Amino acid sequence: MYASPANYVPQAVAMRRPLMMWFIIATGSIVVVSLIIGAPLAFKAGHPLWGQAIYQGFSHVCHQIPERSFFIGKHQFAVCARCTGLYAGFALATVVYPLIRSLRQTEAPSRKWLFIAATPLAIDFTLGYFGIWNNTHFSRFTTGALLGAVAVLYIMPGLIDLSLRDWGRKNEIADTTANKASVVETFSTKASAAPSDYSAPERRI
C-alpha cells in the first residue's frame, strides 16, 4: 500500500533529521560518561565543588556504594560499576550505531534480544543478592555494558521515527481540511435555504 502524499518525507529531510538525532544522543551519552569519570578527577584536581555537584546529580539514579564502584586514586566514580557499564555500553553503541544500522531504519529488533541481553545482568545481580557468589566489578561492568549497548538498538529507531514526523505539517493539513469542510457545509446550507424556482415557473429560464 502506498503512503499518502501528506506522509511524504523529502529525501534530504529523511537523512538530515536522523543524523541530527543521532548526533545529539551520541554527544549526550559521551557527556554523561565523561561526568561519571570527571567527578573523581575534579576532586583530584582540587575542584571539590564541581566534583560534589556531579556526585549529587548522579545520587538520584545510583546508590553509589563505594564497595561496588571504580576508583581513581581515593575518589570513586560518580556511579557504581554496573551503572558505569550501562552508560559506557550505551555510549559506545550509540557512537558506532551508524556503522551497524542505517539511520533511516525505524524498525527495532525482536524484543527477545533485549530480554536475552538483560539475562546475564539479572543472574549476576540475583546470585550476588542471595549470597550464592560474590560478583565483581568486572561482572557488574560487563553485564551492564551488554544491556546498555543492546538497548540502543531499541531506543534509536524510536527516536529516529520521531525525528521524521512532520508535526507542523500534519496540523497544517488538518486545518486546511477543516477549512474546506467548513466552506462545503456553508455552501450546502445556503443552497438548501435558497428558494426553489419550481415554486415560481415564470422566473425559470
Task: Evaluate whether 135 touches 75 at the Cβ level (below 8 Å).
Answer: no
Global pTM?
0.76
**What range defines the domain where residue 91 resides?**
10-166
Helix axes 112-129, 137-164, angle to 10 degrees: 150
86: pLDDT strictly greater than 70: yes
Residue 188 within any structural domain of the chain: no
Query: Highest mean pLDDT range out of 14-18, 100-104, 173-177, 192-196?
Result: 100-104
Provide mean pLDDT across the span 192-202. Answer: 54
Number of H helices and E strands in the chain, helices first, is 7, 2
Nearest residue to 115 via CA among 146, 160, 83, 80 = 146
pLDDT at residue 181 above 90?
A: no
**pLDDT for res 157:** 96
Q: Over 70: is that where the pLDDT of 44 sits?
A: yes
68 domain-assigned: yes
Decide which of 13 and 80 is more confident: 80
User: What is the Cα–Cα distance from 117 to 125, expressed in whole angstroms?
Assistant: 14
- pLDDT of 204 reads 47
Residue in 50, 30, 31 with CA at minimum distance from that of residue 40? 50
For 71, list phi and psi in degrees, rounded to 5.
-130, 150
Is position 101 within any domain? Answer: yes
The total number of structural domains in the chain stands at 1
Task: Answer whether residue 176 is part of any domain.
Answer: no
Q: Which helix (H) or strand (E) holds 139?
A: helix 137-164
185 pLDDT more than 70: no
Q: Return the closest-CA partner of residue 70 out of 153, 151, 140.
A: 140
Q: Which of 18-27, 33-42, 59-68, 170-179 has the lowest mean pLDDT?
A: 170-179
* Residue 25 CB-density burial (10 A; 0-12 exposed, 13-18 middle, 19+ buried): buried
Q: Which residue has the higher pLDDT, 120 or 11?
A: 120
Q: Does residue 184 have a pLDDT over 60?
A: no
Task: Judge contact between 79 and 62, C-beta under 8 A.
Answer: yes
When pLDDT is averaged across residues 150-159 and rounded to a whole number, the result is: 97
1 pLDDT band, cuts 50/70/90, is very low
The string of pLDDT tens digits covering residues 118-148 is 999 999 999 998 989 899 999 999 999 999 9
- Asked if residue 4 has pLDDT above 60, the reply is no
> Over the chain, what is the mean pLDDT?
85
pLDDT at 164 over 80: yes
**Within a domain: residue 45?**
yes
Q: In this structure, is residue 199 part of a structural domain?
A: no
pLDDT given for residue 166 in this prediction: 79
DSSP state of 110: P
- Region 89-113: what's the mean pLDDT? 95
Asked whether residue 124 is domain-assigned, the answer is yes
Query: For residue 200, is it within any domain?
Result: no
